[in-house]
Chain A
Amino acid sequence: MKTRKSKVLGIILVVVMIILSLLFLFPVVWMIANSFKGDAAITADMNTIQAFVPPAPGKGFFNNYVSIITDTNFLRYMLNTLFYAALLIVLGVVVNGLAGYALAKIKFPFRDKWLMIIMMLMIIPSETIITINFLFIAKLGLLNTVIGYILPMIVNPFNIFLFRQVFVSLPDDVYEAAQLDHCGPVKYFFTMVLPMSKTVVATVSVFTFLNVWNDYLWPSLVFTSSDLLTTQIGLNSITSNENTTMGQTLAVITLITIPVIIIYSLFSKQIVEGVVSTGSKEG
């Protein structure tokens, strides 16, 4: 039974968390509210509470959004990025999942040392190897191609580690039962291992999506054709254009932020479960 003291502490905790949440939400609310306004209104409302209130819906309410979608290639950039993300999620789950499965369940020489090496790769910032990746892709003649963009991004040591940590706890007798049910190793991976590990698949998918969605440096090196550009580069090109208004800039940023918020809202439970399970299972 809760004591009076613990109840009071609980209420204080909730109040503090609400205040902190509001502090974090203020910039987002400000951004969304002002994305519907013209520059004059934004400037006028800057130092008032009106800065956090969107204008009343009416004619021209979506002007900033309409002009971004019709006057720029931003929709194209968003679709490009979604396509790259989808491709990398599928390939990443398969490739990193298979690697994680091998490290978890298949006995081969120096397996633990391989795992150690892969874990060590996690501490190397991607920026340090970006030049090597660029030269490699250039030598292959894959610059300005989708393959050239996604190839170095498929394998991810962190995702391999996540998969390995979850797969290691899968019971071996399920694999043996599947063998007796005429299920080969490849079919077992796709019809048993992945469905049994939905949480980590969701976690890796979300991380991959965010990685692609927020990536700026690598696509800006690989892509030169505007047809292939991603959202972050699109954001840069739109906001750096002197004709772009502040309202349009905020509309672009809102468009970029919305998918991230949706993804987090839908998969927050899986992300937490996925990361927690990789730490709590016996390794």
Chain B
Amino acid sequence: MSFIELKKICKKYPNAAKNSVTDFNLEINEKEFIAFVGPSGCGKSTTLRMIAGFEDITSGELYIDGKLMNEVKPCDRGIAMVFQNYALYPHMTVEKNISYGLKNMKVPADKIKEKVDWAIDILGLSEYRYRKPKNLSGGQRQRVALGRAIVKDSKVFLMDEPLSNLDAKLRVSMRNEISKLHRELGSTTIYVTHDQVEAMTMADRIVIMKDGVVQQVGKPMELYEHPVNKFVAGFIGSPQMNFYDVSIDGNIVKFSDGKTMKLPESVISKLGGKTSGLILGIRGEDIKLEAQSLDVYKDTKQSAVIENTEVMGNENNLYFTFGGTVTIARVSKYEISRVGDTIEFVFNPSRIHFFDKETENCLF
């Protein structure tokens, strides 16, 4: 049996017109690292808070380690939580912040000292032991918050956008530290973030949410390679997938700006005869410019004028208008193009996704 189980969980706030979370179903295995990801207001934090016990569950059932938790107090759920704004006790030193919960749990003093020493050591907080939170940097504060969580031997860690207040460089190093901690402690972790990079790099599985509804659950690469709908396809990946309104005539794809592209029969046949109301999606890195690809995928060859370039160091992003929309191609750093250059490019047909324009579901 799974370690945490959410069965048809719904949340509706009083006087709200609709549910904040609707029919949330998920089974989380022990020691798994799950990321809830989605745009602001999608219900990911609300779901996490329902798991923590800070929000009532309107309907549905929550099980942790086989026990129904709907009516159990937060402190009795066996969870530890790291908050977005750290939620440290400002009048207590680092040491007291970390040991406070243990003292309340009546853990013997020598055991508390042992655990606090271990946490302070593992998180590199030794020189800040007697400092108060106001005298710590954002990264140090977040480490204290992590320390407070790990000393309690909780089986479940909940993290609510723990890195969102840190600068980009610190975020990368803290990401690494959290992943390392997760591996060392072997606790089940639920991590809420709006940053898909965090979710992709840290999680065993990702839950993508929109408007309170789970869109897809899967391993990072599953979501990237096989998104179930246009929302997931657009949300995962940076730069986001390029989308075009298209129709099909035989083997020919017609774009809204009148341009056409011939696709292999093997691709078209997967549409099951649907010829209109389609959205074609392709990721930036599947738009190829190099000579070999131009030759291999010559049936899809197109041309466009570069409107903008982004030099990322390890790669370049090229912006141009094609198919009635701004397209971003992600090319190698050796593919040097300037604004105003006309380029030839091809789509890798095996990497093309088709979505139903009405339902936005992926057709294949």
Is there an interface contact between B91 and A180, defined as CB atoms closer than 8 Å? no
Starting from the known contacts A196-B89, A198-B91, 8 additional A-B residue pairs (CB-CB under 8 Å) come to A177-B88, A177-B89, A179-B75, A180-B75, A180-B81, A181-B100, A181-B101, A183-B100
Q: Evaluate whether A180 and B74 lie within 8 angstroms (CB atoms) in the complex, with A171-B85, A173-B83, A173-B85 already known.
A: yes
Specify which chain B residues have a CB less than 8 angstroms from the CB of A192 in the assembled complex. Answer: 89, 91
| Contact mask for chain A residues 165-205; partner B; CB cutoff 8 A; 1 contact, 0 none | 00000010110111111110001000010011010000000
Q: Which listed residue, A174, A182, A187, A195, touches B87 by the CB 8 Å rule? A: A174
- For the residues of A in contact with B, the DSSP-based class is helix
On A, residues with C-beta under 8 Å from B are 171, 173-174, 176-183, 187, 192, 195-196, 198
Q: Does B364 contact A (CB under 8 A)?
A: no
Q: What's the Cα separation between A178 and B104 when bound, in Å?
A: 10
Which residues on A sit within 8 Å (CB–CB) of B79?
180
Q: Indicate if the CB atoms of A177 and B81 lie closer than 8 Å.
A: yes
CA distance A214 to B74 in the complex (A): 48
Q: How many A-B residue pairs have CB under 8 A?
A: 54
A176 touches B83 (CB 8 A): yes
Residues of B within 8 A of A178 (CB): 89, 100
How far apart are B95's CB and chain A's nearest CB, in angstroms?
14
User: Across the two chains, which residue of chain B brings its CB closest to A182?
Assistant: B104
Alpha-carbon distance A176/B73, docked complex (angstroms):
11
Q: Which of B69-84 contact A (CB under 8 A)?
A: 73-75, 79-81, 83-84
Q: Which residues of A contact B88 (CB under 8 A)?
A: 174, 177
Asked if B148 CB lies within 8 Å of chain A CBs, one says yes
Which chain B residue lies CB-closest to A192? Answer: B89
Residue on A with the closest CB to B84? A173
Instruction: Assess the A176–B104 pair: CB atoms within 8 A.
Output: no
Q: With CB as the reference atom, state the residue of chain A lying closest to B83.
A: A173
Least CB separation from B77: chain A residue: A180
- B105 CB-CB contact with A under 8 Å: yes
CA distance A176 to B74 in the complex (A): 9
Cβ contacts under 8 Å, A198 to chain B: 91
In the complex with contacts A179-B75, A180-B75, A196-B90 CB distance below 8 A? yes
User: What are 25 inter-chain pairs, A to B, with CB distance below 8 A?
Assistant: A173-B83, A173-B84, A174-B88, A174-B89, A176-B52, A176-B54, A176-B81, A176-B87, A177-B81, A177-B88, A179-B54, A179-B73, A179-B74, A180-B52, A180-B74, A180-B80, A180-B81, A182-B101, A182-B104, A182-B105, A183-B100, A187-B104, A196-B90, A196-B91, A198-B91
